[in-house]
Structure 1
């Protein structure tokens, strides 16, 4: 079965992100000039904010990978509900047609289209017009 691995990426702390954070904090202080000192005292440092973002990035990456894995399992389970001959044809179609990205959401959508009669595996144009 065609499958595209999810590329992992690390949080990139850039000078642009740091500058944007400093601009945001400055706007917050300037919005209420009478409380600027109090606001400045409560604002976290750039390092603290970037550390929190790095942690959120890592946890979000884990959640996205888990969600993607669940979708792959859901798609494979749905595929295995079909009779063997039909399953072979659907798998052949999935592996042959590169206009479907090798993504679990597209696999589920392809199966949904087939179930709804919008995908004809024998038709030259593949999709059925309604």
Structure 2
């Protein structure tokens, strides 16, 4: 973004993994169903199953990795959007930013990039002052 250009956006929240009794119970029911599905091999299936605490730790680590990837993807999309908006001449850029600030779409980079795509393909008409030729 250029200095002085403020752009509406929604912050990407940080959500903690919650280890709940319901998740633990569901995991234990899943393991029980796996053992009951193969009654002749129930002992072998049980020996290969992990404990509920280990599973919840694995889920927590996976949650944190997924959250980090999602946040990074969101940040990359905002960087792409800022690069794209800089390519427009000033009257068009100002009109696009003004439209973005006033529109009711979520402040998400995918929506912003969609708006730019719509403009590029003539599906979004803005009242842009004529470009002056020097």
Q: Compute the TM-score of the two structures, normalised by the length of structure 1.
A: 0.91
Partner of 1:128: none
How many aligned positions are there?
A: 121
C-alpha separation in 2, matches of 1:42 and 1:48: 13
Q: Which runs of 5+ in 2 are unaligned?
A: 1-6, 128-134
Q: Which runs of 5+ in 1 are unaligned?
A: 123-130
Partner of 1:109: 114
- How far residue 121 of structure 1 moved from its aligned partner, in angstroms, is 1.9
Partner of 1:80: 86
- Deviations for 1:88-115, whole angstroms, at most 9, x for unmatched residues? 00000000112x1000000000000011
One of 7, 17, 25 as aligned partner of 1:11: 17
**Residue 61 of structure 2 is aligned to residue 41 of structure 1:** no
One of 61, 83, 91 as aligned partner of 2:97: 91
C-alpha separation in 1, matches of 2:112 and 2:103: 11
Q: Compute the TM-score of the two structures, normalised by the length of structure 2.
A: 0.88
C-alpha separation in 2, matches of 1:11 and 1:26: 24
